[in-house]
Amino acid sequence: MKKVLLGLSLLALSAGAHAQSSVTLYGTLDAGVEYVSGIPKVNGNGSTSRVRVESGNWGTSVFGLKGTEDLGGGTSAVFQLEAQLDPTSGAVGDGTSFFNRWATVGLSNDSFGTFLLGRELAISNGLWDFDPLGQGNWSSASLVRGRNWLQSSNNVSYQSAKYLGFDAYGQYSLSNATNWNGNGSTAQGRLAGLQLTYSSTLFQVRGIYDERRDPANGKLDDVFQYSREYFAGLNVFLGQFKLQAAYQTSHATDVTAGAPSVTQQEWAGVTWQATANASLIAAAYHVNADNGAGNATLYAIGGSYNLSKRTLIDFQVATVQNSKTGTYSLEANLPGNADNPLAGHSQSGVYAGILHNF
């Protein structure tokens, strides 16, 4: 009888412990058909167009696991594992990391905030809350050639609790090299950043500073990859309408002669939530770069319709108009990419797809 009672007691303790822990599997699948014109021909003689099945134009496709364990006193142990995936091919991760977006463990407290260790989206991704087209493929990242699509390994971060509408978020990512900023012996140079946000029912403002060092030498030597970035954004909430505007600038101090060292980007847009299920977005983005890298303006219209709480259909129409020396693409391509338009030429595209959250 004692053995039976002991077994029942252990079972009850196990059930109680399990009840205070949770693990969630989640994800997003986004795929559609894309048409893009203004792609240079292979022989460099003029431009052509392309139709392809594509993923990630409206939202990044991912799957992940996240969980919490209640430690008492308002404190929980937390973890998150998240991988990017490509539904068009089934590929997972970025070719080097499986959980390439998130791989963190830490502690969270209701009053003091959250402390994490591991791999995260870099702090520059915080500007997406102020981009009318969110993490869409044709949006603010296009004109800074992916500068705000970063992840950071070897990361230590802290997200404060909200106090009187304010919250702060900081990241510090070690290079893990003998040189503090990086010396070519590791895959990542040092990253660091700070984000400050104020939120109310009528508006939200955010400022971000971040820097990313070249892992080869620890320098700020590429304005589109290894540079300091400054961002200020505003959201205004007016019933069915959300107005958004932002300014973003990047600075590199160790560029080679003739390469751009400064970019400045501004954008503005409006989202109209026409019904509970249907929304329409219009936005314009403009970038200037120094040292002959030109300027460009991207105009975009997009929209979505929710078929259910988890599934929506979406579309986007966009065009990039380049200055005489500009080669900016709809995609967030680095200079020299074969899909970038010819200097001074435009590039336009249409996309329609479906997105499902689980």
Architecture (CATH level 2) of domain 25-357: Beta Barrel (2.40)
Per-position DSSP letters for 62-74, written without gaps between them? EEEEEEEEEEETT
pLDDT tens-digit series, residues 52-92: 999 989 989 999 999 999 999 999 999 999 999 999 999 99
What are the domain boundaries of the chain?
Answer: 25-357
- Residue-wise pLDDT tens digits, 227-262: 999 999 999 999 999 999 999 999 999 999 999 999
CA-derived radius of gyration, the chain: 23
pLDDT digits (tens, 9 = 90+) for 167-218: 999 999 999 999 999 999 999 999 999 999 999 999 999 999 999 999 999 9
- Give CA 95 to chain center in angstroms: 18
CA 18 to chain CA centroid, nearest Å: 34
Q: Output the pTM of the full model.
A: 0.91
CA–centroid distance for 213 within its chain: 18
CA 154 to each of CA 118, 176, 190, 301, 313: distance values in angstroms, whole numbers, following the listed order:
6, 7, 9, 38, 37
| Bridging pattern class, strands 21-40 and 347-357 | antiparallel
pLDDT score, position 16: 46
